[in-house]
Structure 1
Amino acid sequence: MTGAKTAVDWLASVAPDPGACRRAWERDSRAVALLPAGKAWDVLILPAELGCPTLDVLTRILDRTGPVLVDFGDARMGFFVPPGTAARWLGTGIRSVGAGTWIVVPYPGRSTGAVRWLVLPDGSGTLTDPALLELAMHEAAADLATREDGQ
């Protein structure tokens, strides 16, 4: 459980009251926290039809990606990237969550039904490099276009 504890500490560190955030998660394993983006991470939210193949590309080229969330219904995926990325990101259909915004985050390793982790935070602060994410998105989009043309 050390990995989950470390991940909890890392995630809760950005909360307005980190102790209260940790206690809320400990009281209810299905609880979510509303955490501010832009401090330890930003989040780029992709539609799942692009996010899933993008994650596949990333896992082929990296030993470890940053954390990845998926929403209820698996419609959207959120890739955790370094703070400041959202302010510079340009991409059609990609939502960027950065400074001044908040994101719903479940306890690491537990599903809430509304949002769940596809890639758990490791607690060390590992994030996905936005340049690699962009390259993976391009490769995934090209693969999708090739498949669509072949049908």
Structure 2
Amino acid sequence: MTTTGANAAVDWLVSAAPDPDACRRAWERNPLGVALLEAGRRWDVLIVEGALGRPALEVLARGRERPGPVLSDFREARTGFFVPPGTTTRWLGTGIRGAGPGTWIVVPYPGRATGGVRWLVPPDGSGTLTDPVALELALHTAVAAPDRGR
């Protein structure tokens, strides 16, 4: 990720904070390279078991449109897809957790290595989010894959 791209991504991410400038300063000084950002304002996050999330991301990546930002926690136990605000209030899916209004997520600084959570698809600063319909189809495709679980 270029410095310009990382700056645009940081600008977009901190825009979800109540005080974007204070958030940016604290984030840049954080030795772990992570910040807590509020979900539900600029995006919701759908959190999927990693064994399903990674194959679903592969399906999305083969599509016509670039998926929105996607996070993975350490050990890739969970994958978090950034989706439009309000998605979590309408989402029905067994084993899928939603981070929407009133929740906070740990977000790594774009372009910097961290010891834990990391970007599988970093934000590009444009505000692109994963289409929930495309994500649902990708999850169904990933579940139905004959080699899942091997």
Q: TM-score range by the shorter chain?
A: over 0.9
SS of 1:147's partner is coil
Identity %: 68
CA contact (8 A) 1:7 1:123 kept: yes
Higher helix share: 1
Computed over aligned residues only, the root mean square deviation of the Cα atoms, in angstroms, reads: 1.6
Amino acid at match of 2:39: A
TM, length-normalised to structure 2:
0.93
How far is 1:100 from its partner? 1.0
Structure 1 unpaired stretches of 5+: none
SS of 2:110's partner is coil
Deviation track 1:5-42 (CA, whole Å, cap 9, x = no partner) reads 01001000111211111112222463211111000000
Aligned partner of 1:18 in structure 2 is: 20
Aligned partner of 1:96 in structure 2 is: 98
TM, length-normalised to structure 1:
0.92
Classify 1:59/1:111 alpha carbon distance in 2 versus 1 (closer, same or farther; 3 Å): same
Aligned partner of 1:113 in structure 2 is: 115
How far is 1:67 from its partner? 0.2
* Corresponding residue pairs, total: 148
2: CA distance, partners of 1:48 / 1:96: 15
